[in-house]
Amino acid sequence: MCGRFAQVIVYKELKKLQDELKIISNSEQTEISFNVAPTHTVSAVVAKDNIRYMGSFRWGLIPSWMKEVPAHALINIRSETITQKPSFKVSFLRRRCIIPANGFYEWRKADKQPYFIHAVGDDLIYMAGIYDTWESPDGSFIPSLGIITTMANNVVGHIHDRMPLLLSPRTRNTWLNPSVQDIATLCPLLTPDNDINLQMYPVSPKMSKITFNNAECMKQISTPEQQADIFG
């Protein structure tokens, strides 16, 4: 799954992102968060009328047909069932997005030790998502999104069996193209891309609290077993 991630995209990275994805945007900075949690506002790349731009979304998908905001946010959508559920299928075909991030956090099941998982070389990762816009009874709108998850690769699989679906340069343009609405074309993009190289390291357990949000969240720490290897 993906329950937390870091979105600290500084100006230089934002310009690179705009160039790589051909984004038309006047923004010079996205909202910075070292510890993005469900219901937080996040930045995502979407395309409409062949124009790509950065939008702000609530993390936790609210399908437009819902009568009220759900008590539990739909932060993750399984890639294996996205085409089987009507509430997800329409967005999968028509409203796809990319959530850029520095990396994501996952907790080792055995002892709840958090790890930060990021691209080798510290490039941004591009998580696949779907979005929708919900209208409240008072007429206000809430744009929201969910992150698609898939089976973990060999790196993440050491601590968890799920991870976000990551898009490579080979698949990003097709994913963002709103004119592509053919399931036969889109379904192969739901397969984990082996061209994306990841690495991970342990981080402070303090980042498990959503109120803990600074650069220390992404800082590598030494775990007891690592210390035992050094001093034992």
Concatenate the DSSP letters of all residues of 7-46 into one string.
E---HHHHHHHHHHHT-----S-PPPEEEE-TTSEEEEEE
Regarding pTM above 0.85, the answer is yes
- Residue count of the chain: 232
pLDDT at 204: 97
| Assigned token pair, 94 | 């028509």
Q: Of the residues 20, 68, 106, 217, which is catalytic?
A: 106
Which sequence spans correspond to the domains of the chain?
4-231
Task: Pick the closest to residue 104 from 121, 119, 118 (CA basis).
Answer: 118
**Residue given tokens 């775990």 in the structure block:** 223
The yes-or-no answer on residue 2 being catalytic is yes
Q: What is the dihedral of CA 164, 195, 124, 80, to 10 degrees?
A: -20
**The CATH classification of domain 4-231, taken from the options 3.40.50.1100, 1.10.10.10, 3.40.1190.10, 3.90.1680.10:** 3.90.1680.10
Q: Of the residues 2, 20, 68, 225, which is catalytic?
A: 2
pLDDT at 231: 29
Q: How many helices (H) and strands (E) does the chain have?
A: 5, 12
Question: In sequence order, what DSSP letters do the residues of 164-206 get, joined into one string?
Answer: EPBPPHHHHHHHH-TT---HHHHGGGGSPPTT--EEEEEB-GG
pLDDT at 25: 64
The yes-or-no answer on residue 20 being catalytic is no
pLDDT at 67: 83
pLDDT in tens, the chain (232 residues): 789 999 999 888 888 888 889 898 655 556 799 999 999 999 999 998 888 999 999 999 998 888 888 888 799 999 999 998 887 889 999 999 999 999 999 999 889 999 999 999 989 999 999 999 998 888 889 999 999 999 999 899 999 999 999 999 999 999 999 999 999 999 999 988 877 899 999 999 999 999 999 999 999 998 756 543 332 3
Task: Pick the closest to residue 6 from 102, 100, 145, 98 (CA basis).
Answer: 102
Alpha helices for 43-133 (secondary structure H): 86-94
